Amino acid sequence: MDFTSPPERYWHCSVKIAGKKDYSVVNDLTFQELDRTIVSPWNTGRTFTVSGTLIRSTESVEAIKITHTDQPRSYYAERHNERMRASRISDLATNRSLLPLSLGTDLTYELLFSGKQEATPEPDVRMVEQLCKRLPQAARILAVRSRKGKKAYEISDEYDVQDLLHALLRAYLKYSVQEDPLPKVAGAKSSRADISIEELGVLIEVKYVHGPEDQKRLFEEYSQDLVLYAQWSHLRTLVYLIYNSADLRDGEAFEKLSSTQEIGGKRFDVKVVLA
């Protein structure tokens, strides 16, 4: 983006202070307001406020994000509410003020950290997402083995998907990849995510679609899983992998659930992958 002539509207910012539970969010700023109240004070070390929260020093900020959208906050909130109503979901968890921050163009680095080295391993997170998307292609090769006496690898449930994905992730990533990583969070086996990559802050939850009737079940489990996995202290990205998604009644309804969530003071990205 050319910051010599930036868009006048609509700019959004979220800030989380270390030790505080919730994010402070401000929406629909003009660029002049954003520059005067947030960007300039940040870059010059001056005290500033975001939605009533006083930021005395950048050192006290645990997370900050600035995005630009073509529409105001109300537009994204209304569209989200319409999708939830159409899917018959009662969504009380999503903070509508955060929607423009997940759907807009992220310009935090350009405005606040230009010239500094990026700390998060985003390329590796994107690789995880891509491997999830391409998993059916790998499965098809193993399902039809031409060599005599070699058994086919068939995928018929979540466990088959998990095993294949786990093997692929270990081949590509230098980080530790674990299965069932959450016994300390809730204690019960049903509360464990399928795969975790702690260094990346990534959890992968695998769902297998047996037929169109699974649509309702998966929606219900999605809402429950968000609340559960938000308790994992390392969580930055939850990948919700739905395998055999072609059998869903309405797969697009799940894709629209990809967003930034904030639950219990934990803010994380949700990436729904249909495979």
Per-residue confidence (pLDDT) for residue 189, from 0 to 100 = 43
- Residue 203 in contact with residue 235, Cβ under 8 Å? yes
Residue with the larger pLDDT of the pair 74 and 144: 74
Q: How many CB atoms lie within 10 A of CB 162?
A: 20
Cα distances (Å, whole numbers) of residue 256 to 15, 219, 265, 271: 25, 12, 23, 10
Per-residue confidence (pLDDT) for residue 232, from 0 to 100 = 85
Residue-wise pLDDT for 176-210, tens only, equals: 788 755 544 444 445 556 899 988 889 999 999 99
Q: Which of 219, 231, 223, 227 is nearest to 181 (CA)?
A: 231
At residue 250, φ and ψ (nearest 5 deg) are: -150, 85
The token duo for 153 is 């690898």
Domain ranges of the chain: 11-112, 122-274
- Residue 178 in contact with residue 170, Cβ under 8 Å? no
Query: Would the pLDDT of 218 be above 60?
Result: yes
Query: Would the pLDDT of 2 be above 80?
Result: no
Residue-wise pLDDT for 48-60, tens only, equals: 999 999 998 888 8
Give 70's pLDDT tier (boundaries 50, 70, 90): very high
Instruction: Report the sign of the C-alpha dihedral through residues 157, 244, 99, 35, in that order.
Output: positive
Rounded Cα gap, residues 253 and 270, in angstroms: 14
Average pLDDT, the chain: 87
The token duo for 50 is 């975001």
Instruction: Report the sign of the C-alpha dihedral through residues 159, 193, 172, 124, in that order.
Output: positive
End-to-end CA gap in the chain: 33
Rounded Cα gap, residues 271 and 256, in angstroms: 10
Q: How many CB atoms lie within 10 A of CB 172?
A: 13
SS3 106: strand
Radius of gyration of the chain (CA): 21
Q: Which of 254, 241, 258, 272 is nearest to 102 (CA)?
A: 258
Residue-wise pLDDT for 152-178, tens only, equals: 899 999 999 999 999 999 998 887 788
